[in-house]
Chain A
Amino acid sequence: MKRAGFKATVEEVWVAGAAMSRFGKMKESGREAAAAVSLKAIEDAGLSPRDIGHTFVSNTLGIIERQAHLGPIINTALGVPEVPSLTVESACSSSSAALHEAFVHVAGGFIDAALVVGAERLSGLDTLAATSYFAMGTDYAFESKNGATFPSLYATMAAAHMNRYGTKAEELGAVAVKNHANAALNPNAHMQRPITMETYLRSPVISWPLRLYDCCPFSDGAAAVVVVNPQKFKGDLRCVPAAIRASARAGSAAALHDRADLTTIPSSRIAAEKALRQARIERSEVDFMEVHDCFTIAEILALEDMGFYPKGEAARVTSEGETCLGGKLPVNPSGGLKAKGHPVAATGVAQVVEVMEQFNGRSGKREVKGATVALTHNVGTTGGSCSVHVFQRV
């Protein structure tokens, strides 16, 4: 017997609108920033809040602001309190996981339009407190209680990569220099100034071999996108949409010590394989990527694990300029987490905002000319979770 109200699976799912706040320090609360970017994204799509069938919200460290259950607060602010909402938590990959949920709901025909919003306000915390909150995303009993923090876990991956492949500090530095240069072209980026290799090499060691400029900043910020079934909104949509060609997720053992190889993140490899298969595209067709570079080594691992470069090669090609704007495969034209900033739960959806900016000719001097296919890659913790999405300009 057919269930009433269940619609047929839809063929096309588009991101139809996008907006983000300036990343960095913000005065307003997470809820205010989330509501503001949500309305902007809905208006960017040419829709009204009344068109939204479900809100998916991420606010990983919302407890810092003594606020949980943000969905109804956003929907109330948007004048649609009756719309259902769901909070999606997947550490640093929270809002890309929320995007995946939105995709599933729209593709499955359950709703015609979804709002996906991520927001975080961390600037009320000092570095010690922020590091402590972030550490809760590790396997707390078996990693954090033994001294782990995120910088130290990524540092052990960097040290293992250097030991096996001969990766050099200057090659990690090339990731930082590139992403700061890109961020300097992005008015919404936290870091607005380019850095030199000398600045990178002189920066203090945070967790050997990672220096200060290997690490992303603690940022405040919010970002939102609207996901639609285009059949329902023909003629209403205002900007150039991005068709979601693939939405894939995967996981890895939570604790690094339970993985066979520290120089790879299994969930990145699995999610990318799934996504490329779903999208039916070759890696050579990808025009640019926004990848998870919470630390410089993370960008190197992402490029290798997703199969864009053989293991041990990504650091070299990065230092040769292949992933710069104007290079063969631009990576993180927005500046990435490293320099655009990393307001945890806003990060995944902010990567998609960059895709929309690029497809709509709104990315100014950081434009990847003629880009029609983009990939986003967003990791939760050290790869316990990973989302990969593929978008095509419509």
Chain B
Amino acid sequence: MEERLEGAGQSKGGDKGRSATHGIEEYEHAIREEGRLIGFACSCGFRTVTHILRCPKCGGADIAETTLATKGRIISFTVANMSSELFSKDVPFGYAIVEMDDGSRISAWMPGVKSADGIRIGERVCWKPSYRQGLVIEKEDQQ
């Protein structure tokens, strides 16, 4: 589901790549209203959910919009007993950095996780489209 950005292939030397075609508002609409996790993929292999115009790994402009994988494994995590105002009614909750099966990475939260005993590095998780704010993940075996 990758869509090359116009001019992206001519980037070598001239850096003629074009600005990314989805913005943060469209990303938020996609995760909330369309059930799609969208991001960007560089021809060097780097993939991310973060809004970028050039690749933070190789600096290249050969960036494509892409739909990211929705399943992956936890790279690291915490269980937050304190939060910002955005999540003050949700503590405690899990917060994890996840490597998706396509190699992209996301930051996400786990509403159901109340202690560090209930989660581990390497654990399989999946993104769950949700009415709640941000990216919500849950353990794959809960699906």
Give the interface of A toward B (CB within 8 A): 127-129, 131-132, 135, 139, 141-149, 151-152, 155-157, 159-160, 163, 204-210, 253-258, 260, 262
Contacts and interface: CB of A to CB of B under 8 A. Distances in A.
Interface residues of B, number: 40
Contact of B81 (A157, A204, A254): A204
B121 A163 contact: yes
A127 B83 CA distance: 9
Given A206-B82, A255-B50, A257-B49, A147 B76 contact: no
Given A141-B27, A145-B134, 9 more contacts: A128-B85, A132-B86, A139-B50, A142-B106, A147-B134, A151-B78, A207-B78, A207-B80, A256-B107
Q: Is the interface of B mostly helix, strand, loop or mixed?
A: mixed
Given A146-B109, A146-B135, A159 B78 contact: yes
B134 A131 contact: no
B84 A141 contact: no
Contacts of A152: 78, 80, 95
A91 to B, nearest CB: 15
A133 to B, nearest CB: 9
Interface of B: 24, 27-28, 48-51, 56-57, 75-88, 90, 93, 95-98, 105-109, 115-116, 121, 133-135
Contacts of B90: 147
A255 B134 CA distance: 15
Contacts of A159: 76-78, 121
A146 B81 contact: no
Contacts of B109: 146-147
A142 B107 contact: yes
A173 to B, nearest CB: 17
Contacts of B115: 208
Given A132-B84, A141-B51, A146 B107 contact: yes
A207 B96 CA distance: 12
A148 B76 contact: no
Contacts of B50: 139, 142, 254-255, 257-258
A132 B88 CA distance: 10
A333 to B, nearest CB: 30
B107 A143 contact: yes
